[in-house]
Amino acid sequence: MLAADDFQRRLDADLKARGVKGVNARHRAVILHVGRFGPCRAVELAEAAGIRPQSMMKIVHEMEALGIVERTVDPQDSRAKRIAFTDRGQAFINELARSTETVWEQYAAIAGTRRMNDTFDTLTRLLEHGESNNE
């Protein structure tokens, strides 16, 4: 968890240095889930983040105000809404990818590229194993 906190601090600092503002820790669950699984309902986001749906809706409203996400009608149920990235949100994801590369390079300079690649492979395997056990 300490490594994840360090990574996030470095990521936030790089985003800020490049003028990307407004997005913070509260928004990460939405960014990660929608970025990985595509448009989804707020209930799914709340469950993934481990928070109440009402709290998630507050976060979604904040992100809508920033122009990062939008709610659209769910084709499966016209009463429900799905949260998806806007064009501005996709541009943010591109900036996030650049910042992630910068942090990766910082870590590789400290630990070495081979060691970082091995670490990434190990973490990927652990994540995949955890996900397959939750199905």
List, for residues 99-126, the tens digit of each pLDDT value.
999 999 999 999 999 999 999 999 999 9
Confidence band, pLDDT 50/70/90 cuts, at residue 36: confident
Q: How do strand 77-85 and strand 69-74 relate by DSSP bridges? A: antiparallel
What confidence category does residue 47 fall into, taking pLDDT thresholds of 50, 70 and 90? very high
> What pLDDT does 67 receive?
94
Q: Quick one: pLDDT at residue 130?
A: 76
Quickly state the pLDDT bin for 20 (edges 50, 70, 90).
Answer: confident
What confidence tens digit (pLDDT) does each residue in 50-101 have? 999 999 999 999 999 999 999 999 999 988 899 999 999 999 999 999 999 9
Domain spans in the chain, listed from the N-terminal domain onward: 2-133
CA 59 to chain centre: 13
The answer to whether domain 2-133 has CATH 1.10.10.10 is: yes
Is the pLDDT assigned to residue 28 strictly greater than 90? Answer: no
pLDDT higher than 60, residue 135: no
Residue with tokens 């501005």: 88
Q: Which helix (H) or strand (E) holds 81?
A: strand 77-85
- pLDDT for 26 beyond 70: yes
* Closest of 80, 79, 96, 85 to residue 60, by C-alpha: 85
Q: Residue 10: CB partners within 8 Å, gap ≥ 6?
A: 102, 103, 106
Q: Which residues contact 103 (CB under 8 A, 6 or more apart)?
A: 7, 10, 11, 14
